[in-house]
């Protein structure tokens, strides 16, 4: 990695940090150590970095805000790329373009202040724009597929390309990018509508209070663990299997919301994964429903 660090310095790629605890940058607060984190300054620097990583056959992972990723307890022998510098927001009437590193929560509240409606569903989703586009994040019967007009990506050939909504193949909690992770989202253009600032704010506040009442936000978690099966709720199935409060190590099925697994007592990544697997298998055994996991597992090979 010394050669890579020198390359980053010589080419002014951006800031970097060695031996970063992944538990410090993921919402579950679990995971091992990554040998190096890099924050590229812009797209040109990102391309330079990726060329070097590909040439030297170095593993890498583009990480948003770490709210939907579970790293193993092992060392990540590669590079974590953070697009925090991709944080521009441009507003042209009802068309909004936001960089991949923009916080989705902050963007939704900014839209409220601008009197733009359509992104209220995102006010409680603690991810980045890039991560939300990748997984088609959503809530309250809406998701990114409803508001994304187009995105700018870096394709596997390291060329800048525009993908439109129809290209992204949005479905419930998935997208073309999720099936093709070599494409890196750089920015997203959203089509919103004019709305009443006070009404938007009231709706967002109502939903914030509901989240506080119904979700275990006092513990580290990654939100809903499983996708809701068609016509049902994963939380109901888990609760009906008597799994509320079930623990493995420091990981626990929330007693407030059964589709949340929380880091209740210094859980390891293995605790979390083992509990997710146990809940999945128990629900399938008892109900026949094969729950689909929303979260992404990294470095478990």
DSSP 292: P
Catalytic, 224? Answer yes
Catalytic residue among 27, 123, 128, 173: 173
Q: What is the pLDDT of residue 2?
A: 81
Taking domain 89-198, whether its CATH number is 1.10.1040.10 is answered by: no
- pLDDT per residue, tens digit, the chain (301 aa), is 789 999 999 999 999 999 999 999 999 999 999 999 999 999 999 999 999 999 999 999 999 999 999 999 999 999 999 999 999 999 999 999 999 999 999 999 999 999 999 999 999 999 999 999 999 999 999 999 999 999 999 999 999 999 999 999 999 999 999 999 999 999 999 999 999 999 999 999 999 999 999 999 999 999 999 999 999 999 999 999 999 999 999 999 999 999 999 999 999 999 999 999 999 999 999 999 999 999 999 999 8
Taking domain 2-82, whether its CATH number is 3.30.43.10 is answered by: yes
3-state SS, residue 90: strand
Q: What is the pLDDT of residue 228?
A: 95
Q: What is the C-alpha separation between 274 and 234, in angstroms, rounded? A: 18
Q: What is the C-alpha separation between 158 and 50, in angstroms, rounded? A: 8
Hey, do 2-82 and 216-298 end up sharing a CATH topology, with the first three levels equal?
Answer: no
**Considering the domain 216-298 in this protein, what is its CATH number?**
3.90.78.10
Catalytic residue among 23, 175, 221, 224: 224
Catalytic, 294? Answer yes
Catalytic residue among 23, 72, 103, 294: 294
Question: Domain locations in the chain?
Answer: 2-82, 89-198, 216-298
pTM of the model: 0.94
Q: What is the pLDDT of residue 301?
A: 84
Sequence-distant (≥ 6) Cβ neighbours of residue 273 within 8 angstroms: 70, 72, 297, 300
Other beta carbons within 10 angstroms of residue 228's beta carbon come to 18
Q: What is the C-alpha separation between 155 and 182, in angstroms, rounded? A: 7
Sequence-distant (≥ 6) Cβ neighbours of residue 279 within 8 angstroms: 225, 226, 238, 241, 243, 246, 253, 261, 291
Q: For residue 224, list its beta bridge partners.
A: 260
Record the tokens describing residue 45, joined without a space: 């620097």
């Amino acid at each position: 990695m010394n050669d890579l660090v020198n390359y980053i310095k010589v080419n002014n790629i951006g800031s970097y940090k060695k031996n970063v605890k992944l538990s410090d940058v993921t919402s579950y607060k679990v995971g091992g150590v990554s040998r190096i984190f890099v924050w590229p300054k812009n797209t040109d620097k990102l391309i330079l970095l990726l060329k070097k990583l590909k040439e030297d056959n170095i593993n890498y992972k583009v990480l948003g805000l770490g709210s939907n990723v579970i790293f193993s307890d092992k060392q990540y022998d590669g590079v974590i790329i953070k697009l925090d510098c991709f944080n521009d927001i441009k507003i042209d009437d009802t068309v909004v373009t936001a960089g991949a590193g923009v916080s989705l929560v902050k963007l939704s509240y900014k839209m409220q202040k601008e009197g733009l409606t359509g992104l209220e569903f995102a006010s409680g989703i603690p991810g980045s724009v890039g991560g939300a586009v990748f997984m088609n994040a959503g809530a309250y019967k809406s998701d990114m597929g409803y508001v994304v007009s187009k995105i700018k990506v870096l394709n596997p050939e390291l060329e800048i390309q525009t993908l439109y909504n129809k290209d992204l193949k949005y479905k419930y909690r998935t997208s073309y990018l999720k099936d093709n992770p070599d494409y890196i989202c750089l920015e997203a253009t959203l089509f919103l509508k004019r709305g009443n600032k006070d009404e938007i704010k009231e709706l967002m506040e109502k939903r914030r209070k509901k989240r506080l009442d119904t979700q275990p936000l006092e513990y580290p978690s990654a939100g809903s663990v499983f996708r809701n099966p068609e016509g049902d709720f994963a939380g109901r199935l888990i609760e009906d299997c008597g799994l509320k409060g079930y623990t493995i190590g420091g990981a626990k099925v929330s007693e407030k919301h059964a589709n949340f697994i929380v880091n209740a007592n210094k859980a390891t990544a293995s605790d979390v994964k083992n509990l997710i697997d146990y809940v999945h298998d128990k629900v399938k055994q008892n109900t026949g429903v094969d729950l689909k996991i929303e979260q992404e597992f990294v470095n478990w090979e």
